[in-house]
């Protein structure tokens, strides 16, 4: 019994000692904190980046830029804050690359086709044949098939002081908006038409008089008769920009831009100065934004596709196969011509072609015919009219 009493007593002393130790430790910690260590206690000063998109505020594309910025701001807990301005707030849309390279802007949201005038090979990442690949396949080629390294090499060759990220696979873009359906290749002869990137070469070769304009300037040009036809991107953007106010005919399906993606760029020096943690967050936010944008696009574009028809009186027509086939034939000519005079163009298109040969075969053999399933469940009414 004595032995048991001693054990209990010792245990009680142990608890008391621990309470005294913990109490002393807490007091010591409070004393240390009262002395103040700013690097531990105070919040880190936020890094502020000013971005500009190449899109007007009304466009869903600008919304995508805002979505990306919000992901960065949220994921960094405010340590990196990105402010996004619309096209023209600091520089015109087509001047974004120069502004970011020089540090006038810290970054931006756009498409590589807008930089076509700097180096035509840049447009292979946004417009061009893509050898049948869709935009998600282009992103796969970019990340895993060598495209990322080729783009960095391309920017270095023209002195582009930017860190580039590709994001946001776009669906096949409409052939365009016209005064009446385009039924044959000859209908393009002399037509004043808006497009951008390598598609400038395509439609010029097919007989159109091409004018490259940023998104916010297209509808006013159509309204004033400066254009006879134009393409921009998708049902939502086209509706928000006012295309149904100046045209009631839209031709669906085309190989001029069937695989475009967005580009997010940072000034290279400012990006390099960021902590490694923030660089990792940016890389992951780009991919999160890419997925989110593709999901949002399905939801929003499908809604506006219906509204364009039911509320705006737009008639959609499928581009005739003869025109689509002629686009592919002309692409062969353009690729051969550019490859002869531009080694970087040749290197990039060769890499894309090899990836497409593998990826396309797998995709076509693996995935179902969605038209068959749609017709089974919902009937045939939704197919666009043949002109």
Tell me whether residue 316 is annotated as binding. no
- CA–CA separation, 108 vs 196, rounded Å? 19
Residue 173 marked in a binding site: yes
Instruction: Map residue 312 onto helix, strand or coil.
Output: coil
Tokens standing for residue 134: 């869709």
Burial class (CB in 10 A: 0-12, 13-18, 19+), 209: middle
pLDDT tens-digit series, residues 245-283: 999 999 999 999 999 999 999 999 999 999 999 999 999
Annotated ligand binding at 194? The verdict is yes
Q: Is 232 annotated as a binding residue?
A: yes
Query: pTM for this one?
Result: 0.85
pLDDT given for residue 50 in this prediction: 98
User: Is 387 within 8 Å of 315 (Cβ atoms)?
Assistant: no
The model's pLDDT over 90-137, given as tens digits with 9 standing for 90+, comes to: 999 999 999 999 999 999 999 999 999 999 999 999 888 999 999 999
3-class secondary structure, 74: helix
In this predicted structure, what is the pLDDT of residue 29?
42
Q: Which residues contact 289 (CB under 8 A, 6 or more apart)?
A: 64, 67, 68, 71, 167, 168, 264
H helix count then E strand count, the chain: 15, 12
**Residue owning tokens 């807990």:** 77
Instruction: Specify the pairing of strand 162-169 against strand 176-178.
Output: unpaired
Give the Cα-Cα-Cα angle 73, 74, 78 (nearest 5 degrees).
Answer: 55
Tokens coding 33 = 């904190």
266 is in an annotated binding site: no
- Please report the domains of the chain, with CATH numbers, ordered by start residue: 47-169+260-298 (3.40.190.170), 176-258+314-375 (3.40.190.10)
Q: Half-sphere exposure of 143 toward its Cβ, with a 13 Å CA cutoff?
A: 14
Quick one: pLDDT at residue 66?
A: 98
Give pLDDT, residue 382: 54
The pair phi, psi for residue 225, each rounded to 5°, is 80, 10
Ranges of the chain with pLDDT below 70: 1-43, 380-387
Based on the number of CB atoms within 10 Å of its own CB, is 52 exposed (0-12), middle (13-18) or buried (19 or more)? Answer: buried
Question: Distance (Å, rounded) from C-alpha 168 to C-alpha 71?
Answer: 14
What DSSP string runs through 158-214?
TT--EEEEEEEEPPPPPSEEESS---SGGGGTT-EEE--TTHHHHHHHTT-EEE---
Look at residue 205 in the predicted model and tell me its pLDDT: 96
Q: How many CA atoms lie within 13 A of 121 on its CB side?
A: 26
């Amino acid at each position: 019994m004595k032995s048991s009493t001693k054990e209990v007593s010792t245990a009680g002393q142990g608890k008391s000692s621990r309470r005294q130790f913990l109490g002393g430790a807490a007091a010591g910690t409070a004393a240390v904190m009262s002395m103040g260590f700013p690097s531990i206690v105070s919040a880190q000063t936020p890094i502020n980046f000013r971005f500009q998109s190449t899109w007007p505020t009304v466009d869903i594309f600008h919304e995508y830029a805002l979505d990306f910025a919000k992901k960065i701001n949220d994921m960094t807990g405010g340590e990196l804050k990105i402010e996004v301005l619309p096209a023209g707030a600091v520089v015109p849309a087509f001047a974004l690359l120069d502004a970011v390279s020089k540090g006038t802007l810290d970054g931006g949201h756009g498409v590589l086709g807008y930089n076509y005038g700097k180096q035509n090979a840049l447009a292979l990442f946004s417009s061009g044949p893509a050898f049948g690949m869709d935009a998600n396949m282009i992103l796969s080629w970019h990340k895993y098939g060598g495209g990322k390294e080729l783009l960095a090499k391309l920017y270095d060759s023209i002195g582009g002081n930017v860190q580039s990220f590709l994001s946001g696979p776009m669906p096949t873009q409409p052939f365009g908006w016209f005064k009446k359906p385009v039924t044959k290749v000859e209908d393009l002869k002399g037509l004043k038409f808006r497009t951008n990137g390598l598609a400038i070469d395509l439609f010029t070769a097919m007989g159109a008089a091409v004018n490259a304009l940023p998104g916010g300037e297209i509808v006013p040009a159509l309204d004033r008769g400066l254009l006879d036809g134009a393409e921009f991107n998708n049902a939502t953007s086209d509706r928000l920009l006012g295309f149904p106010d100046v045209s009631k005919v839209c031709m669906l399906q085309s190989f001029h831009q069937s695989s475009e993606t967005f580009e997010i760029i940072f000034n290279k020096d400012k990006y390099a100065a960021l902590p490694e943690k923030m660089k990792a967050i940016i890389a992951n936010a780009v991919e999160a934004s890419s997925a989110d944008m593709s999901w949002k696009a399905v939801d929003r574009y499908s809604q506006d596709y219906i509204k364009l028809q039911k509320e705006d009186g737009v008639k959609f027509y499928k581009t005739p196969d003869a025109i689509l086939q002629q686009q592919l034939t002309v692409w062969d000519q353009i690729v051969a011509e550019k490859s002869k005079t531009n080694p970087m163009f040749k290197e990039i298109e060769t890499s894309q072609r090899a990836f497409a040969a593998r990826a396309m075969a797998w995709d076509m053999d693996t995935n179902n015919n969605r038209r068959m399933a749609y017709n089974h469940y919902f009937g045939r009414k939704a197919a666009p009219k043949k002109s």
